[in-house]
Amino acid sequence: MDVKNKRVTVVGFGRSGLAAARLLIRRQAVVTVTDLRPSSELEAPMAALKEGPIRYRLGGHPAEAFDDADLVVMSPGVSAETLQPVRLAAARGIPVIGEIELGFSFTTAPVVAITGTNGKSTTTALAGAILKEAGGEVFIGGNLGRPLCEAVLERSGGEGRPPWDWIVVEVSSFQLETIRSFRPRVAVLLNVTPNHLDRYRTMEDYRAAKWRLFENQTADDLAVINADDPVVFQQAASIRARRLLISRTPRPEEGVYLSSSAVVSIGAWTPSTRQEIIRQDEIPLRGSHNIENVLAASAVGIACGCPAGAVRKAVKEFKGLEHRLEAVRRRDSVLYVNDSKATTTVALAKALEAFCEPIVLIAGGRSKGGEFAFLRDLLRQRVKAAVLIGEARPILRAAWSGAVSMTEAGSLEEAVRLAAQTSAAGDVVLLSPACASFDMFRDFEDRGNRFKEIVNGL
């Protein structure tokens, strides 16, 4: 992509918007940044952007910021469909892309892209760890932490550092909405369950956004498909790339499976051969959903030519990610677990299934439009009491009435105190909200960090 002297408007000045603006300035574009927030709330990113001239249109997204644009770059948190100046720009033929597309257009390293409603962050981090264990220079980021544009900024030639061998990125449905040429060498789709129905009109719209991951792949690329997810598996026949299946049940197709309590590859390294990668009891991560994540990350390692020993070592040493079934502390023989990243009902279900101990659940926040009633049987089986927080309290109470004993708390501090009073030795106090955090916190990380502070202060 040639952006020299082109007028480019970057919409949204968060982490990805800042990285996009820095890359565009380095490539000698004329950059305008818009954001709903005023300059007083954007001092840190503005101070970080000193590489060249830039125009700011803050406190909104004014039409004049788009009138003379040659290109519009969207941050994933902003919907191009709902922003009128962007819709008008697109109608005039101005390309509208996202930060992930911008970064991809400037990188020459092969890309591994991982998406799914649940598990994509853990799978991305583990896949990156496997590739590093095999000796590669690996960038890990995307929706997980570091924007793709940073990969280009760090190693785009002339820095005296070796080029990336692999770029491993988590990609969200929001990021996939605005791709054009984005073509991962290895694409992974873990699962598709209801999510973000506060942004998408229908579940089909959400599925279609996820499925764009494969649209530019060819027979020279590889698609890792979760055969245990019916939505994913039913549509997999339309993929042009070579398929590598993952499943907790062995299948005749080549792939990575759970067989006889071990993760095995079948015909993946060598046709018609079976190779054990790691025993299930050696996997340090808790929960059946993490078995799927290990299967997927192992398949990425295989697809990228990693030896089985490197895959096994990386999996054995992987401790998981913060805010994902993260053990915080034991107090009075009660285990406190931070699962703040569980922002969907399916993620909550997987968290509940991960424990055999009685659970005191802290749930709630801002509803994303999911169905909560399907959790009733699981709540009866696993949860001794629930403490509800946030805007979704009345929704959860109505959906779960009669299935579990519930109390409400006006703050996370009060919720932790009530949960501690309700719990007994051998129990688990689990923060697994099944909701977004934005009613009470900046993001799920802020919520999880506050939970850990409160628990450690008990």
64 and 167 share one domain: no
17 and 132 share one domain: no
Return the CATH number at 451: 3.90.190.20
Q: Of 93, 94, 110, 98, which Cα lies nearest the Cα of 151? A: 110
309 and 332 share one domain: no
- Please tell me the predicted confidence (pLDDT) of residue 77: 84
How many residues does this entry show for the chain? 458
* Distances, alpha carbon 154 to alpha carbons 42, 421, 427, in Å: 23, 50, 46
**Structural domain that includes position 429:** 326-456
Over residues 219-239, the pLDDT tens digits come to 999 999 999 999 899 889 899
DSSP-derived pairing of the beta strands 30-35 and 54-58: parallel
Residue 35 lies in a domain: yes
- Please tell me the predicted confidence (pLDDT) of residue 432: 98
| Cα–Cα distance for residue pair 328/337, rounded to 1 Å | 6
- Please tell me the predicted confidence (pLDDT) of residue 158: 52
Residue 200 lies in a domain: yes
Q: What are 285's two structure tokens?
A: 């991560």
Residue 127 lies in a domain: yes
Q: What are 192's two structure tokens?
A: 């598709």
169 and 87 share one domain: no
Return the CATH number at 44: 3.40.50.720
- Please tell me the predicted confidence (pLDDT) of residue 272: 61
161 and 63 share one domain: no
230 and 195 share one domain: yes
- Please tell me the predicted confidence (pLDDT) of residue 156: 67
- Given 73, 98, 123, which residue is the final one in a domain? 98
- Please tell me the predicted confidence (pLDDT) of residue 79: 86
| Cα–Cα distance for residue pair 239/79, rounded to 1 Å | 27
- Please tell me the predicted confidence (pLDDT) of residue 251: 85
Q: What is the CA radius of gyration of the chain?
A: 23
157 and 267 share one domain: yes
Residue 448 lies in a domain: yes
154 and 300 share one domain: yes
Q: Of 220, 301, 302, 292, which Cα lies nearest the Cα of 254? A: 302
Residue 159 lies in a domain: yes
Residue 131 lies in a domain: yes
146 and 281 share one domain: yes
Residue 1 lies in a domain: no
- Given 317, 340, 365, which residue is the final one in a domain? 317
Residue 2 lies in a domain: no
* Distances, alpha carbon 221 to alpha carbons 184, 224, 304, in Å: 8, 10, 11
- Please tell me the predicted confidence (pLDDT) of residue 220: 96
pLDDT along the chain (458 residues), means of 10: 95 95 95 95 89 88 95 91 92 96 96 95 97 97 93 75 92 95 98 80 90 97 95 91 93 89 81 84 91 96 93 95 94 98 93 95 93 96 98 97 97 98 98 96 96 98
**Secondary element (H or E) of residue 122:** helix 120-133
- Given 300, 317, 334, which residue is the final one in a domain? 317
276 and 347 share one domain: no
404 and 448 share one domain: yes
User: For 262-359, where are the alpha helices, taking DSSP H only?
Assistant: 288-303, 308-317, 345-353
- Please tell me the predicted confidence (pLDDT) of residue 17: 95
- Please tell me the predicted confidence (pLDDT) of residue 194: 76
157 and 252 share one domain: yes
Question: How many structural domains are present in the chain?
Answer: 3
Return the CATH number at 260: 3.40.1190.10
Q: Of 126, 164, 120, which Cα lies nearest the Cα of 314? A: 126
**389 with 412: CB under 8 angstroms?**
yes
